[in-house]
């Protein structure tokens, strides 16, 4: 069930939906985290995520003050855009990473 509220990224790599007082999810909290499956490691920083992605053939393609983009070294057309400020890392970014690296990452709801 989807709730309404604001996604907050915690230091331990867990995203938490803080529900609106009037929303359908009032009083409930949803937590999402991106996990690197082979090591069962929660991605808690851009550096940790980039390190794991580099091991899978991803490298920096473009960066500016707000965004870091990664592409596959082998020349594939895939591109992953990540916020430089990891506090802005959202579930859409998590699912983009999972979609392009299905056997290596997953999103867990806690």
Give the three-state DSSP class for 59. Answer: strand
The number of domains in the chain is: 1
Angle at the Cα of 31 from the Cα atoms of 85 and 88, rounded to 5 degrees: 15
Domain interval for residue 31: 5-109
Measure CA 55 to chain center.
17
Q: For the segment 5-57, what is each residue's pLDDT rounded down to a tens digit?
A: 566 666 666 666 665 444 444 455 567 999 999 999 999 999 999 999 999 99
pTM of the model: 0.71
Taking the C-alpha atoms of residue 12 and residue 74, their distance in angstroms, rounded to an integer, is: 32
Q: For the segment 82-97, what is each residue's pLDDT rounded down to a tens digit?
A: 999 999 999 999 999 9
Taking the C-alpha atoms of residue 27 and residue 57, their distance in angstroms, rounded to an integer, is: 42
């Amino acid at each position: 069930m989807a709730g309404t509220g604001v996604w907050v990224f915690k230091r331990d790599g867990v995203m938490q939906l803080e529900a609106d007082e009037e929303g359908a999810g009032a009083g409930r909290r949803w937590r999402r985290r991106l996990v690197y499956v082979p090591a069962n490691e929660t991605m808690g920083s851009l550096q940790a995520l980039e390190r794991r992605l580099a091991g899978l053939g991803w490298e920096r393609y473009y960066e500016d003050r707000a965004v870091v983009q990664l592409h596959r070294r082998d020349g594939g057309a895939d591109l992953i855009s990540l916020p430089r400020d990891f506090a802005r890392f959202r579930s859409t970014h998590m699912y983009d990473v999972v979609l392009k690296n299905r056997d290596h990452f997953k999103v867990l709801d806690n």
